[in-house]
Amino acid sequence: MSVLQWRDEFSVGIEEVDHEHRELIELIRSLQDEMRGGTDAHRILEALGEIYAQIAAHFALEEKTMRALNYAAYADHKEDHETLLDDLRDIMDEVEDDGVLDEAQLTDDLDRWFSDHFKTHDARLHRTAHS
């Protein structure tokens, strides 16, 4: 099972955004470390709640920026945000119902999502905001 890690390809070139992205990845890595240590379902839910809250706040700031820029791809970018939040909520519901979390699947899903989102949606936003 791989551990989600920051990669240079995730960088959008805006230090504040890249910093927040790194912090999100660190929260996820902390959860992975806790799970390897045998953390119970209650703590997993708390950690997922923290991750969800941080991501939601980050997305709200990004969306505010996009609206201020009259960003043409706002709807698609926002939809991708909503998809991740929905997926995280589904994962949280599963943990609440079953008491377990598939760490490998979570890591793979988030790694794929971050890679895709940072390199496409966030990169386009960066180019628009700084052109």
| Residue-range domain boundaries for the chain | 12-129
Q: Per-residue pLDDT tens for 10-42?
A: 777 778 878 888 998 898 888 888 877 777 888
Q: What pLDDT is attached to residue 41?
A: 81
The CATH classification number of 12-129 equals 1.20.120.50
Q: What pLDDT is attached to residue 2?
A: 60
Q: What pLDDT is attached to residue 53?
A: 96
Which two tokens mark 115? 């890679």
Angstrom distance (rounded) from CA 65 to CA 128:
11
Nearest Cα to 24, choosing from 98, 113, 103? 113
Q: What pLDDT is attached to residue 120?
A: 85
Which two tokens mark 90? 């589904």
Q: What pLDDT is attached to residue 103?
A: 77
Which two tokens mark 103? 């760490």
Residue 77 host element (H or E): helix 74-98
- Regions of the chain where pLDDT drops below 70: 1-2
